Structure 1
């Protein structure tokens, strides 16, 4: 591991100023992803700016029934919060599915959004990887790609985003808030990005992962009011029963009245370089009958755009079955 400096900051202006003054520095929250990547040599920051004690550790209601979640809220606190469990149960379930209790106690909301892919070519510095070393190639296209993307990939990168939490946030139109030091006279400037715009398309620049300005600090996430979110679930498929990254996951929310779908939210995980909002499936569902055939047709509408490789085509029926099973379960719960 490269030697690095360390600086603890206690307020947001100092944090963004610290990174603005040193482009080779990185923000440190829980460190559950960053420190691993430093050990493997993927990340080599000259300095870590510790933001763990910033006053961004609260979960507060917003007008109209949404939630504002601070960037340093731990995953454990997020999953246990009564408003999250009541208004956005899929979010709590996604966080609990993501890692062990020890990791959840350290990992933060801001860090979760910024975690890097777990593709083996990316994490092995002896291998080529366009995400780590632009222009070096993507050996996963012809190599080991069993867990590669179905959507939004390119010949330059087929890696998937590993977040469970992000899949739930994508389903409920989360907005990411940040601050930079590039306001007038170097003062902090606030900004925000819808989660749909937060993650950049892969294209031919997979090393550019988010639309955050250079040196920006994530300060929180807002979930807008979404009554349908109270009737939501998260389901994750992994290759072993213990904690592991998903090979496919789903956030689903369903509102049914008189046998007709009034509202639906669907987001897929482990199928793209970012949490994948299944908008084609949602459009197919809303206004139609709440039954198994309709759920399967909605899944097919989304999966029609899937682009498979030699060894990852199993994800198409996997995701189809997930959609049908989870929507059927939500429908049955609504009838009780």
Structure 2
């Protein structure tokens, strides 16, 4: 299954999710490999089904080429299960570009949404915040940023439980005159939108908890997110180096171990499972390639919350309301199971 530690971690995480959340899961990939892993966890009796897919998309493959040539890839089979109503969502730790492209092409985009966006959950001083876009759209128009704000607002409210999410627009200054032409126009529209828009936020403000939703294009979002991840890892590395230099430091670490453990948990991406692709006609959660068992389990939990809170229905309705669209609403895919696709290239 998808990821650097596949199929072991995806299968183990799925088993945990089935046990803890009662999730009905469909594991998509090479049947024999999945069966071997399931046997290690005594998964008999759990609501887990296997759907065989003979092909896999490599992490370095072109998403478009893979979609055209690999008709029986696990991500394509998983997306088809969602489209046909056999599954309610898809979780993958595989090739991010392939997952995005395949879900968009197979399941389609929600009516009224111009660009789906990747939405990351990032901790701040007051709780979790959502950043979008973090990589799906490098170049954006003002209307795209406005739609990202709407989708982020709804995700924060419905999945994270923030009552009235504060929406901030990433820029180089707080004043509405700051930023480029795209962000200035987006600011003008967001100021009149029925959202709790607090204005521009700067890079130094994203961790102080003043905004629950940070809106930016995919270029800024992706670079910022990776810089944050790297900074967190570097801080932990520096701390370990200093602690190892003296006995007193080691003793202090032993006494402060619970605090360090809580700190690490707050900055661990595994706590939130993966990033949702918002704006598509599916609950699609994309996990880090190196996802742990806990990350996979939590990705399933996030997907369950996404489906139960009808996030796509709410995005659909709110986007149409804000953009004053009048097109009739198409039925959304449903179903009681989730497809967890497999992208393992091992034979």
Same fold by TM (over 0.5)?
Answer: no
Report which of the two has the higher share of helix: 2
The structure whose RCO (Cα within 8 Å, separation 6+) is larger is 2
With the length of structure 1 as denominator, give the TM-score of the two structures.
0.28
As a proportion of its length, which structure holds more strand?
1
